[in-house]
Each structure stands twice: as C-alpha cells, then as structure tokens.
Structure 1
C-alpha cells in the first residue's frame, strides 16, 4: 500500500480528533465563554452542518485543481480555524470557526477518497479506504480521550492548539507524498451530473445514510444507556466505550479485506449483524455482560461495512466519481445527524434508552432493503449486457 494512503489516514485522524473531542470539552468551553452547556453543544451542530454541505461543494469547486493543492488548501484553512478558535473569547466567532473547519474537513474527505482509490488498483480500493477511514476510528480510540484530557488539564484552548499542530504536521506529509500534478483526466461537470442520475448510486447513498444512522443512534446514547439502564458504575463507562472502539478497529480492518472481493456479501453480513446486535442490545439492556459484549459487536459490525460504503460508490460512478463520492460523504453525515436525532425523539417521548436500540435495528433493516434493491438493479443490468453482447457480435459478423 502506498505511503500516501497512510498520510491521508493520518490527516483524517488529526481532523477527526477535532470533530470528536468537543463532546468532552463542552463544560470547559461553556464556563470560559459564559454560555450554557446546551448552547456550547450547538458548536457540535455547527460542525455537523459544515460537514453536510462541504463535500459536494468543495469537490466541484476544486475539480480542476491538483489533488495535492486541494488537500493542502483544506488543511491550511482547518489549521487557521483552530488558531482563531483558540484565540477568541467570542462564542459566535468560535461557532463560525467550527462551521468553516467542518466545511473544509468534508472537502478533504471527498478529495482524499478520490485520491486514495486513484493510487491503488481497483481490486484494492476497499483496503485503501479502510486505512483512510481508519484514521477516524483511531481518533475515536485515541484522539477523543487525548483531546479531552488535554482540554481538562490545560484548558480547551490547548486542545485546539494541539489539533492545529498535528494538522500542520499532516500538511508536510501531504506535501511530500501526495502527487502534485493535475488529474490525468479532469471530468466535465456535465458528465458528473449525468452520473448522479444513476438509480443504483442513490440506493448506495440510502444504504450509507441508513447504515450510519443505525450505528450512531445506539452509539450516541450508549454511555447514557450504560449509566441509566444497565446501572454500570460511572468509572467503567469509558472502558466499555473503549471496548466499542476496539471492536470498530477490528471491524474496519476485516472489512477492508473483504470490501473489494465481496462488497454485497460484506454489506449483507455487516448490516444483518448491526440489526441483530441492536435488537439484542434492546432486549438485554439491563444486564452488564451482554451489553459489554454487544457494544464490541456493534462497533465491529458497524465499522466493518465502512470500507464497502466508501469504495462501492466509485464502482457505481464509473468514470465520473468526484461528485458522486463527495455526495456519499454527505450521506454519511445525514446518518450521523439523523440517527441521534431520532434517538432523542424516542427518549424525549419517554420510551427509554432500550427504544433507541430498536430504532437502530429498524434502520438496519431499511438499509438491507436498499442493498437488496441495488443488488436487483445490478443483476438486471448484467442480464441486459449479456443479451446485448451477442447481438453486437452478430452485427459485426454481418458486416
């Protein structure tokens, strides 16, 4: 695997740490800026909004740039937003830096994905994307707690400075290892838009949004479930979350090895695992041992499909992958936003934390439906192609 792939994974780790660490710093930020904790929590919403729109907009805007130039530009802006954020004492300035930082982070994701699959053979796309996306998994295991500890011990601004320094180091890696020439073939915008009309592509986006929603609706409230329903001692909750993280790491490694050769099988098995795990989590939420085991399996199955969700869109998009891949990043963020929102509605209605896991199971079943629909479309298209090929051969013989 080219070193550039690992550089991209490191870059995602540094930016992903910023995305995740704010959840552990809300109290410190609220106290320092003299705002309520819920208002500080809106900084997470600002990041989510920037991620939602950034990928397709910036992928199109930088279509004719060299990928190295685009990646460096995105990282430079990300560094700047964290420097400004670390220096400001104004809540709305910090809010703006979070939105802008997320906007360019989404653009980085889109271009990094296209760059990664362009550096490897078609048979290694899933493995390459498992390394790139694995940067976010490592951020969950290492970056989130490290950023939280730095913020708690040295102040939340120190955590922002640390992210800025890490991103500056990532820029050096991008400068050294990412090819600097213009893309060999720059796709036209008309071709990109025509590609976006393909039904299997939108089914793939639906699979991404539903699958990520199924995972995140349970994970977002896992800590609360452990405390409120399972009655686990507070000191053990980070341990269980770490177990979930190790499951996620295992899942993305295994998923990276199966995504290229068996994409549909990977999706069927992974999503069925999410559905079964979520249902069992709802049924056994009061018991410590099953919940701990199921937390590990939820991370493993949920992240095991990640490489396939990331790489399959390139197969479906054909020769015009840029906008299609960028829209897939937005689909990820739809799931990230919608899953916890649906869970919040259930909890607000007094249904309890076990109901959240049932929502995850339902979303997983819906995702299986989109995979099946895509499978049928692909099979029908293959049948049409097999019929058309003999006809073409007969025409050649006639001539």
Structure 2
C-alpha cells in the first residue's frame, strides 16, 4: 500500500480510475444500441436500398474499435511498462478523448471507421495500468477490491451509461451521444490529474521480458478461448437493436431496456465468475460455455417474445461476464514474469471476440439470413471454445504450469 496518502485521497483516486472504466464501457458498447442510427446516417443510400446490408456493414464500426484494442493492448503495454503510470494514464485518456470526438464529428463512414480504430487503441492498456495502480493504492491484502472498483466502471456503464446515452442518441443524434462519451473521458482526465498520486513505472521491465509471454502456448490458448467466447457474446450484443425492433416487434425506445438487462446479467456474471475462478479456473470456463449454449438457444428460440428476449439477453450477458475474470486469472497464471502484458492482453482477447462476433454476425445478416442469424454464429463458436479449453487442460496435465511464486509481487512495483 502506498504510504502518506489519506483514505479520502485513495478513494477519490479509485473513483477516478473507475470513471475511466465507465467511459470505456460507454464508448465500446453504445454503438450496439445506435447501430440503426449509424447505418441510416453514414450509409444512407445502402440503407434505403437494403436495410439489412447497411446494418451489417455498420457493424464494422464495432469491429474497428475492437481491432484497435487488439492492436493497442499488447503494443502499448510492452512499450510503456517503464513509464510513470500516472503520466501514461493521462496520455491514454487524452487519446480516448480525441478519438471519440473524431468519431462524433467526422463526416463519412470510412473516416468514422478509422476514428473508431484509433479510439480503441488505449483500451487494454488503460485497464491494465489502472488495475496495477489500484492494487498499489490499497495494498496487497485488498488488491482484488481495488481492481474490482476499476472494472465496476465498465459494469455500471452497461447498466446505466449505455442505455441512457443510447436513449439520448435516439432522441437527438448518435453524434451527440459520442460527444457525451468524449466529455466523460475529458472529465476522467481532469480527475486523474487532480487526485491520482504520481507513480513510477517498473524500472526492471523490458519489451523482451513482456513479449516473452507470447512464446508460451498456454497464453495463446487462453487468449483464443476468451476471443471465441466473447465472439459469441458480441455476435448477439452487436445486433440487439434490430432484434428488438424487427424480431420482437417493439418500439426503438425499448432498446435501452434490453441493454439494461444485458448490463444486469454482466454485473451478476462478473461477481459469480470472479468467485468461481478463485476455486477452479478451467471449471469456470467450461461452465461459462455451457451457459453460453443454453443462453443462445433461449435467445434464438424465444426472442420473438418480450420475456424470451430479456431472459436470453440476461443469460448471454451473464455467461460472457463470468468468463472474463476466469480468462484474466488464467492469463496471470500462464504468463510467467510478463504480468504487465498479461494485465492488458485479456482485453485484447475479448475485443478480438468483439470484432469476430460483430463481423460474422454482420455477414450473416447482410447475406439475408435474418437478424437472429448472429445467434447461431455465437452458438457455433462455442464448439471451438470448448475444444480449445479441453486441449489447454490436457496440455496442463502433461506439462504443469510454472506459476510466479507471488503474483502480487509481479503485479505491484514497490513504490
């Protein structure tokens, strides 16, 4: 624990970091509810000619952000481990602000697509560095609580921020919605600058040491399991808005309610998944894929009814969010000394799934298979996810994983 700080200063610092998570959750997920608005405004000719094709192509905006996370998380984490953490967080928040403003004001689909990619670059590094800072603020014995506070910003965004900003975008413009998100990042920048104490980076870190994680097969397997699992989630989540309006036949105003339902599922799933992973990581992974299968079937078969829609979305969100802490813990176990990188690349893995799910779902919709076709894509993605998990577990039994003797020591640089 950092000495010389009052409890109030520590709590304000944690809240400032959580506000960044709130902004990230908002910028990442608000496109799902506003997808029809984005398609109609940025692809007007295609939207008039073929609404499904336009929605499928608009889904690329979700994929572009996710690809930015995939590229940025390992790159920034490996390059910046030595940098002072507060300074690095401020640069990342500045990049979020600029990229989100660009997303809101650029005039064409291609330029907005590029802006979404740029806005995604700081995502994984922010969560990784913020988690390390939170752990150092409140000490070894409470590090889990600190990390949970940072991640709670993203969870709360899905329950409150995304639905409210989606509603704002529907009643005004999707561009206004993104400007609000940019304002959240700007406020986080000021909060972090004002209350977060200065922290040095890891003076012993080298790019070679961090990137050494990628020489481990188990790291790649954990990343692929997370990507496939979240691919199924985002295949559904990315196209919630058209399912609500075209399949369940509800008004557009019901979309925020559907998003709240997903957010509640994610919140509960995150709590359960974190506790379950502490007892049995791979058992949790298998359980999550089992829940994925059930939730996808419920959603595909019953989403024409309001009850079926909401239950399906709740279960899909719960399965995905429960998987996240299990994959994060697994990465920490298998990454060896590359703990900084491991703290960031989990989000690269999950957003690779974001990109994969949104893209494949868009392809099936554009091909004319209907708005529920991405659900079957998600169901099929469970197959390689389960097979990868079985292979990883079998490999571990033949070659036991050499874990760091004290993960906390690797996570928290002595101040």
Q: Same fold (TM over 0.5)?
A: yes
Counterpart residue number, 1:317: 335
Q: 1:342, 1:269 → 2: CA distance?
A: 24
Q: Could you tell me whether the CA contact under 8 Å between 2:163 and 2:260 is conserved in 1? A: no
Q: 1:353, 1:91 → 2: CA distance?
A: 22
Match for residue 7 of structure 1 among 13, 16, 21: 16
Normalising by the residue count of structure 1, what TM-score does the alignment of the two structures yield? 0.81
Report how far residue 129 of structure 1 moved. Answer: 4.6
Report how far residue 76 of structure 1 moved. Answer: 1.9
Q: Secondary structure, in 3 states, of the residue corresponding to 1:224?
A: helix
1:133 aligns with 2:133: no
Normalising by the residue count of structure 2, what TM-score does the alignment of the two structures yield? 0.78
Q: 1:9 to 1:375 in 2, by over 3 A?
A: farther
1:333 aligns with 2:342: no
Q: 2:58, 2:239 → 1: CA distance?
A: 19
Q: How many residues align?
A: 385
Q: 1:359, 1:30 → 2: CA distance?
A: 22
Matches within 5 A, 1:289-300: 289-300=307-318
- CA RMSD in angstroms, aligned pairs only: 3.5
Instruction: Name structure 2 gaps, 5 residues minimum.
Output: 2-9, 48-53, 404-415
Match for residue 225 of structure 1 among 235, 238, 243: 243
Match for residue 180 of structure 1 among 189, 198, 210: 198
- Superposed CA offset, 1:91-121 (max 9, x none): 7765554433222334323433444556677
Counterpart residue number, 1:369: 387
Match for residue 16 of structure 1 among 16, 25, 41: 25
Q: Secondary structure, in 3 states, of the residue corresponding to 1:305?
A: helix
Moved more, 342-351 or 273-282: 342-351
Match for residue 268 of structure 1 among 286, 293, 309: 286
Q: 1:197 to 1:91 in 2, by over 3 A?
A: closer
Q: 1:160 to 1:69 in 2, by over 3 A?
A: same
Counterpart residue number, 2:79: 61
Counterpart residue number, 1:393: none
Q: Secondary structure, in 3 states, of the residue corresponding to 2:279?
A: coil
Report how far residue 369 of structure 1 moved. Answer: 2.3
Report how far residue 321 of structure 1 moved. Answer: 1.9
Q: 1:91 to 1:199 in 2, by over 3 A?
A: closer
Counterpart residue number, 2:225: 207
Report how far residue 142 of structure 1 moved. Answer: 2.0
Q: Secondary structure, in 3 states, of the residue corresponding to 2:122?
A: helix
Counterpart residue number, 2:412: none
Larger radius of gyration: 1
